[in-house]
């Protein structure tokens, strides 16, 4: 049975179609695998085994009737920031520990109608604030490549579960790197789609102008298959864009001859680990060998301001979004007092963890009268500069290539004492959310035995280019085939 958890989504789909396997068998194999590795990896907050078996039986009936699509009967895992009707959605927080959404997020509606099987909800940094999963109110998730290390965050549970073969794919959310960073730390493919490409309806809001949902998978084809299902316009999300959703698997042909690629110098930051730099340079060389035209002298001069811009804008938006957790409308409520103000205060004091409180304070400060112009407004202006530089770059290049992070996965506890060090792990991913463009992180080699991520960026709504380059790279390097020892 265990071997079934080694299949890719695409392989499993073909076997389901040819009746070599049933969805019930696939699902049972994954549930067993979860039993086996979950005590070590700790990727899941909620397991939904019973629901999964029901969905698998239903998927098998659909397959029998010839009504199956590429995800029908495929077991996957959902980040616990995405609302699932009737299934707890905690957001990694005490505040929502007992919250059971009465509705499904738009992406869940799509996955359910595609016939996916949901195995569980993945652990995450509280309200998606973090880079290591150590901000989860419940427990830290461990990196399957080295259980002493973090899986990255905030979608660490989504990444670890797929790398440990607990699920065949997963969904995460990315506000400043939360899909790409864990993908790079766990040797996975992780896509942050164009802002507006995937509906945010039913995604618990962190920073609304930056948040996007995207897939994790063990190869590019699988990521394209999942993305094809969740992408598309939704009128319930006012920032959703009416753009055509092409068949993303079409760009998986390995032909990248003549494609123009820029390498922005600013992403090779000071303090970058030499092994990571080497792996990324080797990867770029591979793309060149395949016929891409690489310009290594690209400059996006505003890049270094991204960290400052992000840590003004994201907390500002978060402070507004999290105001709804007042002990009345949602989630946890402190009940040992008759005084309304005390109830509100204690609710937030007990319900939120330290990082969430820090962000609310930062954001409230930046938005307050007297500081708004100096911080929030200034950050918005610099945001425009960052966007412009990308627009200019994409008038010359089809894609930009850079590291996903300056380092490999770090040790649990290594950066928890120093928030600034933690924030710095995202220097290479933040500009992408600020500009709203799409980017993918793919396996880019190894440094000291730990996976390195290669990040590819493209212009808005050009995820096809990302998939094209990613697939070509994957075919020649085969890095994605390397698995953590626990997964062999």
- Please say if 155 is a catalytic residue: no
Tell me how crowded residue 391 is: count the other CB atoms within 10 A of its CB. 13
Tell me the site size for ligand GLN, rule CB under 6 A: 13
The vertex-203 CA angle with 96 and 34, nearest 5°, equals 70
Torsion over CA: 469, 431, 358, 83 (sign): negative
Contact pick of 75, 101, 177, 196 for ligand GLN (by CB under 6 A):
177
Binding region for ligand GLN (CB under 6 A) out of 126-134, 193-201, 285-293, 391-399? 126-134
Residue 40, classed as helix, strand or coil, is: helix
Interaction between residue 331 and ligand GLN (CB under 6 A): no
Interaction between residue 174 and ligand GLN (CB under 6 A): yes
Interaction between residue 178 and ligand GLN (CB under 6 A): yes
| CA neighbor of 124 nearest in space, from 211, 230, 9, 32 | 211
- Please say if 113 is a catalytic residue: no
DSSP 173: E
Binding residues for ligand GLN restricted to 419-448, rule: CB under 6 A: 426
Binding region for ligand GLN (CB under 6 A) out of 50-58, 175-183, 250-258, 409-417? 175-183
| CA neighbor of 442 nearest in space, from 386, 399, 488 | 399
Binding residues for ligand GLN restricted to 309-328, rule: CB under 6 A: 314
Find the shortest distance in angstroms from Cβ 130 to ligand GLN.
5
Contact pick of 128, 162, 412, 456 for ligand GLN (by CB under 6 A):
128
Residue listed under structure tokens 């920032």: 239
Find the shortest distance in angstroms from Cβ 5 to ligand GLN.
28
Find the shortest distance in angstroms from Cβ 172 to ligand GLN.
9
The residue from 154, 173, 240, 283 that is catalytic is 154
Output the six-digit token pair for 331: 């989630």
Find the shortest distance in angstroms from Cβ 487 to ligand GLN.
25
Residue 37, classed as helix, strand or coil, is: helix
Find the shortest distance in angstroms from Cβ 320 to ligand GLN.
15
Helix (H) or strand (E) run with residue 453 in it: strand 450-457
Q: Write down the H helix ranges in 248-403.
A: 274-289, 306-321, 340-351, 354-367, 378-396
| CA neighbor of 292 nearest in space, from 480, 477, 470 | 470
The residue from 170, 178, 283, 319 that is catalytic is 178
- Please say if 79 is a catalytic residue: yes
Query: Under the rule (CB under 6 A), what is the footprint of ligand GLN?
Result: 128-131, 154, 174-178, 206, 314, 426
Active site residues: 79, 154, 178
């Amino acid at each position: 049975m265990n071997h079934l958890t080694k299949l890719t989504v695409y392989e499993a789909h073909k076997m389901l179609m040819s009746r070599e396997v049933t969805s019930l068998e696939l699902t049972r194999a994954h549930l067993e695998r979860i039993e086996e590795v979950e005590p070590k990896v700790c990727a899941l907050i909620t397991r939904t085994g019973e629901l999964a078996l029901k969905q698998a039986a239903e998927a098998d009936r659909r397959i029998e009737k010839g009504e199956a699509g590429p995800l029908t009967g495929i077991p996957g895992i959902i980040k616990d920031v995405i609302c699932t009707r009737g299934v707890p959605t905690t957001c990694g927080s005490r505040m929502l520990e007992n919250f059971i959404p009465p509705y499904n997020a738009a992406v869940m509606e799509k996955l359910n109608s595609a016939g996916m099987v949901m195995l569980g909800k993945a652990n995450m940094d509280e309200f998606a604030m973090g880079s290591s999963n150590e901000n989860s109110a419940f427990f830290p998730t461990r990196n399957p490549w080295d259980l002493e290390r973090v899986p990255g965050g905030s979608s660490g549970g989504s990444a670890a579960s797929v790398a440990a073969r607990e699920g065949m794919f997963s969904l995460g959310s990315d506000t400043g790197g939360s899909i790409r960073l864990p993908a790079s730390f766990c040797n996975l493919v992780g896509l942050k789609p164009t802002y507006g490409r995937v509906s945010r309806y039913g995604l618990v809001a962190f920073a609304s102008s930056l948040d996007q949902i995207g897939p994790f998978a063990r190869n590019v084809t699988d990521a394209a298959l999942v993305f094809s299902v969740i992408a598309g316009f939704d009128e319930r999300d006012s920032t959703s864009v009416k753009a055509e959703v092409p068949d993303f698997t079409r760009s998986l042909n390995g032909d990248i001859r003549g494609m123009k690629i820029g390498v922005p110098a600013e992403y090779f930051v000071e303090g970058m680990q030499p092994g990571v730099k080497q792996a990324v340079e080797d990867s770029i060389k591979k793309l060149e060998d395949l016929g891409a035209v690489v310009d290594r002298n690209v400059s996006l001069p505003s890049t270094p301001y991204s960290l400052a811009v992000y840590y003004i804008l994201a907390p500002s938006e978060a402070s507004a979004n999290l105001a709804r957790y007042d002990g009345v409308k949602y989630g946890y409520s402190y009940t040992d007092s008759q005084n309304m103000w005390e109830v509100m205060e204690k609710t937030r004091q007990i319900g939120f963890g330290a990082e969430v409180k820090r962000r609310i304070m930062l954001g409230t400060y930046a938005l307050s009268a007297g500081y708004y112009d100096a911080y929030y407004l200034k950050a918005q202006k610099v945001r425009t500069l960052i966007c412009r530089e990308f627009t200019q770059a994409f008038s010359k290049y089809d894609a930009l290539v850079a590291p996903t992070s300056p380092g490999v996965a770090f040790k649990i506890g290594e950066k928890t004492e120093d928030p600034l060090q933690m924030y710095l792990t995202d220097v290479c991913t933040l500009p992408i959310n600020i500009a709203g463009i799409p980017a993918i992180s793919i396996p880019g080699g190894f440094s000291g035995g730990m996976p390195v991520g290669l990040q590819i960026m493209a212009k808005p709504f050009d995820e096809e280019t990302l998939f094209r380059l990613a697939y070509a790279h994957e075919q020649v390097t085969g890095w994605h085939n390397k698995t953590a020892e626990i997964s062999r």
